[in-house]
Amino acid sequence: MDDQGTTRRTILGGAAAAAGLGLAPGAAAAQTGTAAPAQLRDPRTKYTSQPFPEQRQPWPALQGKMTPRPDSGETSYRGSGRLAGRKALVTGGDSGIGRAAAIAFAREGADVAINYYPTEEPDAREVKALIEQAGRKAVLLPADIRTEKACTKLVTDAVRQLGGLDLLVNNAAYQQSKADISEITDEQMVRTFETNIFAMFRICKAAIPSMPAGSVIINTGSVNSYDPGEELLDYASTKGAILIFTKGLAKQLAKKGIRVNMVAPGPIWTPLQVAGGQLPGTMGEFGQYTPLGRAGQPAELAPLYVALAEDGTSFSTGTAVGAHGGKGNP
């Protein structure tokens, strides 16, 4: 049963009825009113609220080695053909939020290319298998995207291997917590900007000529785009830039019929946190301060990426959608 309480029997029954009436499955459901009642879940207890154990991994970290493993929808996300035939590129698609988006896109009918840092190959292989289990094409594109050359090649390879591109998720990020500006090295600052905003700019620039009207770009921002954490000065600065970049690019691309939106997550349990994203000794506090009393899981963001990607949200561009457990903006 999926999040809307729709069973497999209901889906198949609706499809059969649609075939008989010449309607799409969604139209058949609307005609017959056969959808089962939604199963309500208390958001406070849907996922663990227990403090996460202190743990560290070398950057960029592997999701498969985290305790507990994040939930990216591997067993829970159920698709319904909302992105059938689409061709998507997701950066940072091997783990965390990008992984959740890639899995959801595939289960909604899209072919998916994922980019990731080369040492994240074990996580990427898991995502490839999940995409293929959904019956869709999976393309693995390992690369360090901190140079213009790498970004251009990434887009070129994705377009060639997917046979086109109409959905781009800029999600890859670098995050290192430091208590004071004096602790942020010039190398860290440059790397954070190169990964989080320079790559986004370059990838969009390379991808737009291949994207037809109706295409969608979704950028991963943050609650830090609005309410910067004092220990994330360089990271939060890039996330503020992403918000403005999203709004400005949306105005430009409206003339081409391409939509651009941003998802702004709050505290989400991903490899970023165990690879230096939290100050030493504070892992147990992560997410505990939200009104819901817990951190979010990547699976809880996947429906937002799908909703922004599908044609039904065609009047939404230049917007930001939050997922922060009740604290922050938007």
Which pLDDT tens digit goes with each residue over 109-168? 999 999 999 999 999 999 999 999 999 999 999 999 999 999 999 999 999 999 999 999
Instruction: Please say whether the beta carbons of 101 and 299 come within 8 A.
Output: no
Confidence of residue 327 (pLDDT cuts 50, 70, 90): confident
> 278-285: which pairs have CB atoms within 8 A and are 24 or more residues apart?
278/177, 279/177, 279/178, 279/179, 279/231, 281/54, 283/51, 283/52, 283/53, 283/54, 283/55, 284/51, 284/52, 284/53, 284/54, 285/51
Closest CA to 296 of 272, 275, 320, 315: 272
pLDDT at residue number 34: 60
| Phi–psi pair at 270, nearest 5 degrees | -140, 170
The token pair at 135 is 């019956």
The token pair at 198 is 């320079």
Confidence of residue 6 (pLDDT cuts 50, 70, 90): very low
In 3-state terms, the chain is what percent helix, strand and coil (to 5)?
Answer: 45, 10, 45
pLDDT at residue number 35: 65
pLDDT at residue number 26: 43
Instruction: Please say whether the beta carbons of 135 and 83 come within 8 A.
Output: no
Q: How far apart are CA 103 and CA 98, in angstroms?
A: 9
Query: What residues are labeled active site?
Result: 235
Instruction: Please say whether the beta carbons of 45 and 81 come within 8 A.
Output: no
What does the radius of gyration of the chain's CA atoms come to, in whole angstroms?
A: 19
Which pLDDT tens digit goes with each residue over 221-251? 999 999 999 999 999 999 999 999 999 999 9
Confidence of residue 50 (pLDDT cuts 50, 70, 90): very high
What are the boundaries of each domain within the chain? Answer: 1-34, 66-323
Instruction: Please say whether the beta carbons of 259 and 216 come within 8 A.
Output: yes
Is the pLDDT reported for residue 18 higher than 90? no
Half-sphere exposure of 275 (CA within 13 A, CB side): 18
Q: How far apart are CA 312 and CA 301, in angstroms?
A: 18
Q: How far apart are CA 189 and CA 140, in angstroms?
A: 28
Q: Which amino acid is at 234?
A: D
The token pair at 162 is 């997917």
> How many CB atoms are located within 10 Å of the residue 261 CB?
24
Q: Coil, helix or strand for 130?
A: helix
Q: Tell me the pLDDT of the chain averaged across its residues.
A: 91
Which H or E run contains 196? none
Fold for the domain defined by 66-323: Rossmann fold (3.40.50)
Q: Of the segments 12-16, 17-21, 190-194, which one has the largest average pLDDT value?
A: 190-194
> How many CB atoms are located within 10 Å of the residue 99 CB?
31
The token pair at 83 is 């992105």
